[in-house]
Amino acid sequence: MDISRPLDQIKSSYEFACSLSNPTVFNHKFQLYENFSLKKRRCSTSFPQFRCSLLDQGLKPRPMPKPPKKGEKIFQKDTESHSEKTRLGNSNVTSDICGQIEKLVLCKRYNEALELFEILECEKAVDVKGDTYDALIVACIRLKSIRGVKRVFSHMLDSDVDLNLYMMNRVLLMHVKCGMMIDARQLFESMPERNSVSWNMIIGGLVDSGDYREAFRLFLMMWEKYSDVGSRTFAMVIRALAGLGLISPGQQLHSCALKMGVSHDVFVSCTLIDMYSKCGNIGDARFVFDTMPKKTTVGWNSIIAGYALHGYSEEALSLYYEMQGSGVEMDHFTYSIIVRVCTRLASLEHAKQAHARLVRNGFGSDIVANTALVDFYSKWGRVKDARNVFERMPQKNLRSWNALISGYGNYGRGAEAVELFERMVREGMLPNHVTFLAVLSACRYSGLSDRGWQIFESMRRDYKVKPRAMHYACMVELLGREGLLDEAFALIKNAPGSPTKNMWAALLTACRVHKNLVLGKYAAEQLYRLGPEKLSNYVVLLNIYYSTGKLEEAAAVLQTLRRKGLRMLPVCTWIEIKKKLHVFSTGDKSHPQMKEIYDNLDEVILQISKHGYVPQGQNFLPDVDERELSMLLHHSEKLAISFGLISTPSSTPLQLLQSHRICSDCHNVIKLISMVCRREIVVRDASRFHHFKDGSCSCGDYW
């Protein structure tokens, strides 16, 4: 039989023209395997009956044959001989179909193989061999076809195939790989005989599905039964413990792996690195990595991701370059990690190099790495580059859309964020709660109150997404930005559940901007109740008192801070120049180019003074100590920008990271510097991103 022929021709050659008398019975048959019994090979329910479609077309049935006469014995013998030939012919046909199915699977034509399998189902073929079922199992696994799994297994129970241990393991694997873990567990429990392969399959399936606790429980049962647990099992269970965050059992398994001589297995080593990293023990993770006899791509990725997870961004970047020098091949996961590290470090040069290497090594269309690039460019003021990467992606997932929408919102381009959201919906991508947070934040940052309310109301009505506390906090800030403080307060009171810290913080910020002392004090009291040890809650109220001249009340807040032992720390600002991070603090004198930095800053201050700059010393600076007031002109962000101006070409954007919220005076200074020096400046402070360009900020002076 030629497999190059179209499938419809193959079917027609067998005159496949029957129809179901009752389709619901056929559907029931596919669900029958759930109640199977391995002891009773045949299912109690008979296979659904077929009838010729001629009756459905209104044609008369053929008359029943008359009983044979005495002289017709020879004809009867001939008929019996013909029936025997027909039976043998049907057996040959079944054999041909089975061979055809195996060839189709071998050629990776899985859909056609399952379609051809329908002929065996209709002809009630029972002499199907194990090789054919093996091929059908492969087809179901490759297609992740739950319906195919049910059909194949149901037919196996009705056939004469020997369901030995090997075949039952294959059936178990089929269920596990297609994500049918409830049915897989039932099948596993019903198996009269199991080996280590069976245990590994079900444990691996539970780990892949996220049921770590049950996977660990089954491993303990397996451990009692088998003493020769292999490296694959150790790797799977260590993954489960990483998911559970249980370091003590993980250390015990590490000891067992050392005693059994499998600790240097690459899979065990990589899962140990991942487990120690996720459990917060980066030192032990590094020890495992350093003792690996051969460091693979996965091993490097695991340790780099571990450092990045715990905020050791510079160490992660250093390891990346060490990996690059070792000659180990990098994959898309490596580049996506490094781009995320660069996002945290505001390292444009490192990110651009990673982007170039990603494209050069053939990962230019990878969805994970490209989404990380969209996120990086969006967050650091290069929205045009982010859009270019996004549009060139052959496939886009929900995270890609969310990253770009959030990027437009961060830089005050709310109209474009809303337009992108509408396009996303038109293209059939369903938004989730993260999408709505991104687009509502875009409306909040851009003052699109009417459009924001429309989208907020459509969440539950049109998309069945229940608004969360973060969405209500966003709407509180949207109202507060418009000066509608009473409406914002009413929204907090009417929100489902108890008001959160983010809601009260959004209201307190609005009260600071609009100088509403009474409502601000009430919001601060609610914040004290929810987070009495959070310094920023006191500082915002302190700003309100200073800005309204309430010096006695401000002194009382400072006294409360001292009594609680909350100390306001100096600000630090980071800027990257030529791939090297430079850190500045207020009044810093330690930098080797400090004279040039201060001289340039004095000149810049003189230039912006001609455009109306007057130092604003009346506001208490957020989250910093009192000495900052006497060093207003030498704040850390001013020093970092001055260093950036003298160290980079005039067309280069400056990107800064700051440990605390930017003060009002520095915010005004940076706006004027962006206009006078014609520089784009991006500052990521403790509150949000600020994109300064041509004398204005993306936050609209609301932060």
pLDDT one-digit tens code per residue, 669-679: 999 999 999 99
| Residue 53 pLDDT greater than 70, yes or no | no
Give the whole-angstrom CA distance, residue 654 versus residue 645: 8
CB atoms within 10 A of CB 398: 15
Give the whole-angstrom CA distance, residue 368 versus residue 335: 9
| Residue 36 pLDDT greater than 60, yes or no | no
* Percentage above 70 pLDDT, the chain: 83
Tokens of 593: 């180019």
Tokens of 72: 């017709």
Cα-only R_g, the chain: 35
Tokens of 92: 């040959």
As a whole number of Å, the end-to-end CA separation of the chain is 73
Q: What is the pLDDT of residue 621?
A: 41
| Residue 683 pLDDT greater than 60, yes or no | yes
| Residue 594 pLDDT greater than 60, yes or no | yes
pLDDT in tens, 330-346: 999 999 999 999 988 87
Of 452, 444, 515, nearest in space to 485 by CA: 515
If phi > 0 it is left, if psi is from -120 to 50 it is alpha, else beta; for residue 54 that is: alpha
Of 527, 530, 538, nearest in space to 561 by CA: 538
* Percentage above 90 pLDDT, the chain: 45
pLDDT in tens, 75-103: 344 444 444 444 444 567 778 888 889 99
pLDDT in tens, 279-296: 989 999 999 999 998 899
As separate numbers, helices (DSSP H) first and strands (DSSP E) second, the chain gives 33, 8
Amino acid residing at 702: Y
The band of 48, judged by pLDDT with boundaries at 50, 70 and 90, is very low
Where are the extended beta strands (E) located within 457-616?
A: 572-577, 580-585
Mean pLDDT, residues 479-484 taken together: 90
| Residue 363 pLDDT greater than 60, yes or no | yes
| Residue 275 pLDDT greater than 90, yes or no | yes
| Residue 311 pLDDT greater than 60, yes or no | yes
Mean pLDDT, the chain, as a whole number?
82
Q: What is the pLDDT of residue 90?
A: 57
Q: What is the pLDDT of residue 447?
A: 82
| Residue 17 pLDDT greater than 50, yes or no | no
Q: What is the pLDDT of residue 622?
A: 42
pLDDT in tens, 394-437: 889 999 999 999 989 888 889 999 999 999 999 999 999 999 99
